[in-house]
Chain A
C-alpha cells in the first residue's frame, strides 16, 4: 500500500497543472476521420491518407474545388495532340523538393508515373495510369506522355491518387519508409507522425506559389463523432469534418462555430440484380424506384445528404437533371407490382455492408418497400466480408457506395460496363451502354462527350437496375476564426488557402 500516497500526489500535481494547451500562432488542428496507413502515392488507398497527402504533394494537374474543372498544378500549361494520343506538359520552373532534395524536373514526373506502372512496384493504384504507353522528357521542364488510345478521363486520372509526383532520390533512400516520411513539392512539409495520435505538417517556406499562411497543421485521428464534437468545443481542435447529422446540428448551436455543407463526390445507390427474379422484371425494378422516399432516407442519416436521381453527383462532368426520374409514389409502385401479376408480397433479400451509413438506411428502405408490397429480408455483413461475398453476385439486391473523382468515366467504366460484372463492381449486371461508355471514354470534344454522358445517364435511368438514393455530403464544423477553407468534397482537404484570424 506504499504506492497510495505517491499516486495521489501525482494525481493532485496533474490536476494543479490545469493544462489549458492553448495553441498560439497559425497552427490549425484538424480532425482526421480514421487512421493513416501509407502516404506513398503508389500504395495510398484510403481517403484518410488522401486527406493529408493532398497537402504534401502536387499533381501535374488537379481539380478546381469549385468547378471540378482540370487546372494546372506542377504543369504550367499542356497541349493535347489532334489524335488525343500525345500530351505535352510544360512544367513550372523553380519548384523545390522538401527537405533539400533539390529542384523538381521532368525526370521526377517520369520516375513517379513509371514507378506506379511498373508491375514490380505492385501498386494498387496502377489502374489509374493504364492508358499511358510511354513518357518522354525532351528537356528538364517538358514532359511528353503518349497514350495507347485516346482517353477523355486521362487528366482526371492524373489529378487523382496515382498522379502525385514523388522524388526519386528520397524513394531510393527511404525505401518502404517513404510512406511514413514522404517528400513532396506541396505547400506543407511532413514533420512527424505518432500513429494513432497525431500527424504534423509544417509550412513549406519555399512553396512555388508562395508560403502558406499557416505555420503548422496537426491532424488528429478521432473516429467517434461525440468525442470529435467535444474535442472541437473544448478547443482541442479547430476544424472537424462531421459524419453524423445529430452531431452537426448540436455543433450549430455553438455561436463560436461555423457549420457548412456541400455535396460530396459520393453516390449511394441500390443495385438490383437484373439477372435473377424478381428484379429481372423491369416493372418490379420501377416499383422499387417509386417506393423510395429519398427525403426520408436523407433524414435517416441526420440530414447529411441530398436526394439523388442520377448515378453521378452534380459536380461531375456531364451531370444533368434532364433525365427520367422516379418520384416517390407508393400508389404507382403498388400498381406496377399488381400489373406485373404479383398478388402476394414480393420476397426479396437486401444484402448490405454494415459500413456507415447503411445500417441507418437499410431499415428505412425495408419499411418503404414493404409499404408498397415487397417483403424484405435483411442480410447485413461486416464490410470486409461483404466486399468479398458480393463478388459471387449471389444476391437479390445490394447497396452501392461509390466515391470517385468528379469524372463520369470513373463511375461508368467501373460500375456500369459489362466487363465489370461481378466479381467486378457492376453489381446490378447492367449491360445496356457498353458501346456508349467506351465511346465517351475516348471522346475528346467536351460537347460531344457531354452529350454521350447524358445519353448513358438516361439509359441507366430507363433500365432502373441502379436506384440512386442520395449524394453524400461533406459537412465541416470549424471556429469562426478559421478563414478561407474550401470544403473538401472529394476527401481532398486543402490547408493551403486557410488562415486564422483570432481577435
Chain B
C-alpha cells in the first residue's frame, strides 16, 4: 500500500495538468473590456463626486446648526445676565392679625 503522503504527492503531480492555464491573451481581452472599464470608472467617479457633494452639504448643515445653537445659547445667557439678580424678590404681605377677642 502506498503511504498517504506519497499518494498525495502523486495525485498532486498528476493534478498539475488539471485545467492547466496557457498564456493569457491580455491585449485581446483588454480591447474587449476597455470601453466598459472607462464607463465603469466614469460612473464610479460620478458617484464619488456626488457622495463628496452630499458630504459637503451635510458638513455645512451641521456647522450652520452648531453656529445657530451657540448663537441661541449666547442670547439666552446674555438675557439672563441683563436680568437684575440683586433685586429682592417681592414678598407677599402677611394678612393683618385679627384683634384678640374682648374679655368680658
Q: Do A and B come from one complex?
A: no
